[in-house]
Structure 1
């Protein structure tokens, strides 16, 4: 019993010590942050005239000049953070003048030297700042750093820095090759990194899309969500037949957004695709793109075994004018029990929408006596007053 009490006392003492050390460290970090903020405020006020000068001359023809006098380490840090913020904020000639100012002040040279440090955390910090300053001369060193790193979130920081600094497509291609080699399914993040580059990446993405390499195809599809590729419709249509479900779905989504590439013939073929998700995407796109020529095919898909296909087919018919709505009403009466249920759901939804619109425009939707479609009759002035 005494031994157990002694062990419990030791455990409590050790735990209390760990908590005390943690609180002390937290308090120290808090004090350090407060001191940094105060120091930044002091030096910002000291160089307020220079800050005003820089902002006032960003659009001028003359180069920008560093702050007067010799800067100590803290002053240099404060000025560096302000310059980096501006570089990220401005574009074009304004950004180029700020980058040139960083080089003139020796900030780029200092971080290039830190990039050769034996400590990885120093190299990572240097890569981040060099990326912010768009230093093309740092690309070889950052590529060497990236290739030597094990996978962690830090590799994406270095990759983003390389994308900001790169001036040639081959540099981006090499960076992508290293990141994809980790095989961590980070294609959307890598696509976001590529978007940081000022280089036109259309040709590279097109090469990836046609490469047949699944990793590069996935990256190209992820990047095309924000960077469309002209003339990619044929390749996207071929990818809808991919054995990989994620590839064919992403290709189908991109194809369905392109009114030029999503032709009537392709729409009809995708409506009979073996993958129910692809069929649903096709049915949805027909309504959004207004392909009235596919109305008959939509009516047939109301008997599809997948509820999502039936639902989007019904929704698209409601979007294809009065002719489509008439077909939808007919489907609600004559199709299979499942298809009729989706048709009725969409009809109710559409009628609520039309009735809501009628209150704003002075029209009211009524069911025709001799046909299942719906027609509009105008409200009289007295009706509008009572409404």
Structure 2
């Protein structure tokens, strides 16, 4: 009995001791952090004039001076962080001058040595800072570090640092292959990294689009959204017509978004493609680029096996003026899937009159309403009231 009680009391004493030690440790860490923050603020104030000097001469044709005197470790960190902050914000010659200053001050070399640290956190932190300083000379070491890491937040930090720092295409390609080797769906993440590279965008994307590896192609295509790169249109055309099945639909979408001059044979080839994604993307684009000559193809596509193709074809026909709308009306008089999708789109178009405000839109709407009446007439009071809202009552 006493032995059990003594064991219980002993366990309580040990737990109490551990809790007290933990509280003391946390309190000590908090005090140390506060002291460090206070010291960093003091260093920021100490170098305030130096930072003002840098800002004043960033755009001048002069070589920036190094910080005066020997810097303590925490002091070096304060100056380095400020330079990284500016490098992230600036572009062009101003960024290049700050990158050179980091090299001359020894910040890059110090962080390179930390890539060999025994502590994984120190290695990742060093890679992050090297990326911030656009340290091209540290890219081979960061690639070696990336190869030893499993996919996760830390490997993403290192990969992004490589993308920011690399000055050769081969390094970007090696980083992408290592990142994609995880088997995770990281194409959009990789595309975001490509937007931060210091390499010339058009040349980089053109070379990536010539790769055979599917993951790299997907990352390059994702990186193209939101930016116009005319130099890569030929490469997009190659992928659109002769590329791998998994990337053709995306390539076609980007190719058509570049507003190329499309021949009738080209449109016909895309609209008869065996992949429904390609047909759907093409059908949607034809209305946007106002390819009136494609109306027969779009009308035929209203009976496509894919709902997406039928829907996009009906939408594009409604954007192609009176001729396109008339093709919808003709399909609505037929049967099957074409009739169903045509009627659905016609209902949406005719129900959009209340949102029409501009004069040219009112005129265009009245024209298609006349086409509607020639096929379906006005069979209800509701239709007469709707037509009276724009351009008068046509029921007489």
- RMSD of the alignment, in Å? 3.8
TM-score by length of 2: 0.79
Q: 1:236 to 1:185 in 2, by over 3 A?
A: same
Structure 2 CA distance for aligned equivalents of residues 226 and 114 of structure 1: 37
Cα deviation for residue 129 of structure 1 reads 1.0
Aligned residue runs from structure 1 range 303-314, under 5 A: 303-314=303-314
2:341 — aligned with what? 342
2:380 — aligned with what? none
Decide which moves more: 296-305 or 23-32: 23-32
1:356 and 2:355 aligned: yes
SS of the counterpart of 2:146?
helix
2:149 — aligned with what? 149
Structure 2 CA distance for aligned equivalents of residues 166 and 138 of structure 1: 9
1:60 — aligned with what? 60
Cα deviation for residue 315 of structure 1 reads 0.7
Decide which moves more: 85-94 or 135-144: 135-144
Deviation by residue 1:238-292 (Cα, 9 ceiling, x = unmatched): 346x34xx42332232233232165432332232333333222111111111111
Contact 2:283 2:316 in 1 (8 A): yes
Decide which moves more: 345-354 or 275-284: 345-354
Contact 1:271 1:279 in 2 (8 A): yes
1:124 and 2:124 aligned: yes
Aligned residue runs from structure 1 range 32-51, under 5 A: 34-51=34-51
Aligned residue runs from structure 1 range 317-328, under 5 A: 317-328=317-328
Deviation by residue 1:321-356 (Cα, 9 ceiling, x = unmatched): 121122222222x13243233223322322343442
Cα deviation for residue 181 of structure 1 reads 3.2
Q: 1:237 to 1:376 in 2, by over 3 A?
A: farther
Q: 1:32 to 1:288 in 2, by over 3 A?
A: farther
Q: 1:36 to 1:267 in 2, by over 3 A?
A: farther
Cα deviation for residue 134 of structure 1 reads 1.5
Structure 2 CA distance for aligned equivalents of residues 196 and 291 of structure 1: 36
Decide which moves more: 360-369 or 285-294: 360-369
Q: 1:193 to 1:261 in 2, by over 3 A?
A: farther
How many residues in Structure 1 have an aligned counterpart in Structure 2? 373
Cα deviation for residue 301 of structure 1 reads 1.2
Q: 1:45 to 1:287 in 2, by over 3 A?
A: same
Structure 1 CA distance for aligned equivalents of residues 21 and 343 of structure 2: 67
TM-score by length of 1: 0.81
Deviation by residue 1:118-150 (Cα, 9 ceiling, x = unmatched): 333322221211121112221222222222333
Contact 1:162 1:172 in 2 (8 A): yes
Structure 1 CA distance for aligned equivalents of residues 149 and 361 of structure 2: 67
Deviation by residue 1:10-65 (Cα, 9 ceiling, x = unmatched): 99999999998888877766666555544443332333222222111111122222
Contact 1:210 1:235 in 2 (8 A): no
Contact 1:64 1:101 in 2 (8 A): yes
Cα deviation for residue 88 of structure 1 reads 0.5
Structure 2 CA distance for aligned equivalents of residues 18 and 253 of structure 1: 62
Structure 2 CA distance for aligned equivalents of residues 186 and 178 of structure 1: 11
Decide which moves more: 358-367 or 175-184: 358-367
Deviation by residue 1:53-94 (Cα, 9 ceiling, x = unmatched): 211111112222234444323222222211110010011111
Contact 1:111 1:126 in 2 (8 A): yes
Please, which runs of 5 or more residues in structure 1 have no aligned partner? 1-7
1:271 — aligned with what? 271
Q: 1:23 to 1:111 in 2, by over 3 A?
A: same
